[in-house]
Structure 1
Amino acid sequence: MLDASVSGVVPSPTLAINERVAGLRASGRDVLHLGLGQSPFPVPEHVVAALQANAHQKDYLPVRGLPDLRAAVADYHRRHEGSRASAEDVLVGPGTKELMFGMTLALDATLLLPNPSWVSYAPQAKLLKRAVRWVETDPAAGWRLTPNALEAALAEGGGHRILVLNSPNNPTGAAYTPAELEALAAVARRHGILVLSDEIYSGVHHTGAHASFARYYPEGSVVSNGLSKWCGAGGWRLGAFVFPRELRPLLDAMAVIASESFSAVAAPIQYAAVSAFRDDPALKPYLQRSRAVLAGVGGALREALVAAGLRVSHPEGGFYLFAELPESRHPSGLALCEALLEDAGVAALPGSAFGRPAAEPSMRLAYVDFDGAAAMRHAPAGVDAAFLAAHCGRVLEAGRRIAAFVRD
């Protein structure tokens, strides 16, 4: 008696590939894992210490989140993005994924998704019987959404719309500039749409120059962030949404949904997260090293793939490349990635998982298969070719294997 909205939805491709790689490795296969976008770096030591110190915390916390944590999140966004947020504007959840689900449930609206987009936006909408409108992007423009494309999509009408904008981007690694965000904000404001600005990779913008969409459209933007990517704590499941005062009714509605679903995020995690969002001096060198390593290894992998004839996005933030073969002997992107895994031992996700046409020979590569703790220790000496060979060799080897696979 399954509902129709569930029967056609498959497990998240990122989690599925992770389980498959684990099984292959357990059987003795040497698989280079570029399929799962998980931070390779350890959680900062002062944040781990805070979790240890609060392991005894056992009580239910407020549905909207620990007050000190909500204040710390608001302060983080004021410091880094010029936000006007206060603690009352913050909702904490067990990862931003759960909060996105709650937001989609709370709003009867069509999701506007730049193509390609992260794997779970569209499936969540399908589960909740919400419409999705894909908005095409231009590979020559780094797969970025343009004001003209957004204007054309909005001109079609269709009731309430939510634009989901992710920068730095998964799967392309692109990061929007202030000028690009300002131009998109002008279109969003003219049409009065709601924008979910997914900024989960803000802390790992490769030059530290992240720009928040909410700076240019504060009254209509909900900002999503959390500990998974820039703090290395994906398994802790801690995310937060920051709302403008104009959207307080949405925050209130999502808090009601939270009260009847996850109740509250685990208490020890929330207490520990306060130290992550505060302006701790230990966090600055941690982020500087993370960014330097990711910029170095992402650039090196791109260089190898471009030399092999692939069209590859420029990595500007996060830890992803989006690559497309000029031609392929495989009938689909999925078949391409299956062959790459079986023949070359490299795990990747097909572009179709992110909204691209099934026949397109494209794939996302997450350049994170290296020992992040060791890389972090040695990064202060400089990230050069010798460093990458010593500490990110598996990612470089993946580039060589992909190049050989394409040539063959």
Structure 2
Amino acid sequence: MTVTLSATLAANEDIDRRRRAGERVLHLAFGEAGLPVHPALRDRLAAASERNGYGPVAGASELRTAAAGYWTRRGLITDPELVVSGPGSKSLLYGLLLAIGGDVVLPVPSWVSYAAQADLVGSRPILVPAPPGEGGVPDPDLVAAEVRRARAQGRTVSSLLVTLPDNPTGRLASPATIGRLAEIARELDLMIISDEIYRDLLHDPALPYTSPAELAPERTVITTGLSKSLALGGWRIGVARLPAGAHALHRSLLAVASEIWSAPAAPVQDAAAYAFGEPPELTERIERSRRLHGAVAGAVHQRFAEAGISAPTPQGGFYLYPDLSHLRLGGSAEITKILLEEHGIGVLPGHAFGDDPAAARVRVAVSLLYGDSPDERLTALNSPDPLRLPWIAANLDHLTTGLKELTLPRHGAVRERRAALVPTPCHG
């Protein structure tokens, strides 16, 4: 098995190298929340710094109780005994794939680590396109046939994975789609793993949100963390909510955890318990973050639209998924290279997310546009109109210029030769 560096981390390191070398690169390739840590969380972490014991594998009871309260306030009554904490939801997702076993159904496109983790645990992912206009879920109308086909070949298919709202598209699956998917999961006896780490960052909080745990509670595991809503990516803390009665899965997940991470870092667990308790100062911070992400993602979406480049309107998180196939400059790898090397715009290619390599779709993350220093990022967070801040305006101008140059006739015969060599990609 060949294991390579995650595409997001590799792109981040490449862009950092270019910037240190003096290149002007707009960093749209890394999904970090890009905001300072709230002072109250820093204080909690410092106060807990003497807690240096391993603690329970599942996590401290205070953290599990706080996480159970978080879900209960969202209409999902949760038993703290069926909450498991880990060093980031990414670790928990890997542990769940190991504990559940079998092959997993993934949407296309989907976050780069899902398929990579499936490969690491010996699972063969079944890639199913998302429904038109939606993201983060495999099309329910296609899942049943794909699972039955795989099972007829002797494969064991045990689970399907969804992201609500989605990375890379920024879209949220509709309640109707989640309902159909829950029915199919029950019919085919599939566990649903629902990655809901962006749940609290919907741009419009009135947008209808349905977790599969509401409709198929007996077979849905939810994972979340604090990396996105409270910008604590470097603290590495996440929690999983297991279904009531899933005692065998609980034991298996703890067994995996005990051999991989032993227990999450004790001081971080203390701060996380405080965060999942949702004190007013942190809910207010998340609200400001939600507004900032929505404003900048909307502005970036507008810049692509003005350049004649289509992208689904983002609904949550800080991502967009533009399609530049009409430019006929190659597939996702080629367009990513052109954007970076000729226009100073760093994005991730769609093929890293399982998409058709021939399609020139790319993932754009807007969260590192907020500023280069903590002071700039905090100013952006607190600004009633962050788009008017000079550094954000300059970043948007850089993007506009790069997209304009990209879409204008360039190098005449070179473009024509490329178009002759590159077939029109399939949009299916």
TM over 0.5: yes
Which residue is 1:15 aligned to? 9
Which residue is 1:152 aligned to? 145
SS state at 1:323 partner = coil
Which residue is 2:174 aligned to? 177
Q: Give 1:170's aligned amino acid.
A: N
1:71 counterpart = 2:71: no
Which residue is 1:202 aligned to? 199
Distance 1:111 1:38 in 2: 26
SS state at 2:245 partner = helix
Deviations 1:362-381 (A, max 9, x none): 10000112237645546566
SS state at 2:22 partner = coil
How far did 1:48 drift?
Answer: 1.6
Percent identity (aligned)? 34
1:102 counterpart = 2:95: yes
Q: Give 1:188's aligned amino acid.
A: A
| Deviates further, 340-349 or 283-292 | 283-292
Distance 2:139 2:306 in 1: 28
1:386 counterpart = 2:376: no
CA shift in 2, pair 1:63/1:100, >3 Å? same
CA shift in 2, pair 1:49/1:396, >3 Å? farther
How far did 1:221 drift?
Answer: 0.4
SS state at 1:312 partner = coil
SS state at 1:173 partner = coil
Distance 1:252 1:282 in 2: 36
1:228 counterpart = 2:227: yes
Which residue is 2:413 aligned to? none
How far did 1:14 drift?
Answer: 0.2
SS state at 1:61 partner = coil
Contact 1:220 1:246 in 2 (8 A): no
Deviations 1:214-269 (A, max 9, x none): 11211110001001111100010101111012322112111011111211111111
Q: Which runs of 5+ in 2 are unaligned?
A: 411-428
1:33 to 23, 27, 31: 27
CA shift in 2, pair 1:143/1:361, >3 Å? farther
1:402 counterpart = 2:403: yes
Contact 1:330 1:336 in 2 (8 A): yes
Distance 2:243 2:53 in 1: 29
SS state at 1:246 partner = coil
Deviations 1:350-404 (A, max 9, x none): 00000011121110000112237645546566337535x6645424532442332
How far did 1:141 drift?
Answer: 4.5
CA shift in 2, pair 1:147/1:119, >3 Å? same
How far did 1:289 drift?
Answer: 1.1
CA shift in 2, pair 1:381/1:42, >3 Å? closer
How many residues are matched?
Answer: 400
CA shift in 2, pair 1:141/1:231, >3 Å? closer
CA shift in 2, pair 1:109/1:396, >3 Å? farther
CA shift in 2, pair 1:120/1:384, >3 Å? closer
| Deviates further, 175-184 or 30-39 | 175-184
1:89 counterpart = 2:88: no
Deviations 1:27-53 (A, max 9, x none): 111111000000012222211211111
Which residue is 2:241 aligned to? 242
| Deviates further, 239-248 or 393-402 | 393-402
Distance 1:186 1:48 in 2: 44
Contact 1:292 1:383 in 2 (8 A): no
Contact 2:203 2:315 in 1 (8 A): yes
Distance 2:240 2:10 in 1: 27
CA shift in 2, pair 1:357/1:94, >3 Å? same
Distance 2:375 2:217 in 1: 37
CA shift in 2, pair 1:240/1:403, >3 Å? farther
CA shift in 2, pair 1:381/1:328, >3 Å? closer
| Residue correspondence of structure 1 range 1-400 to structure 2 within 5 A | 5=1, 7=2, 9-80=3-74, 82-141=75-134, 145-158=138-151, 159-209=156-206, 210-369=209-368, 370-371=370-371, 374=376, 376-377=378-379, 382-383=384-385, 386=388, 391=392, 393-400=394-401
Deviations 1:122-172 (A, max 9, x none): 111112221111001244446754321223333435233311100110000
SS state at 2:280 partner = coil
Q: Which runs of 5+ in 1 are unaligned?
A: none
Normalization by structure 2: what TM-score?
A: 0.88
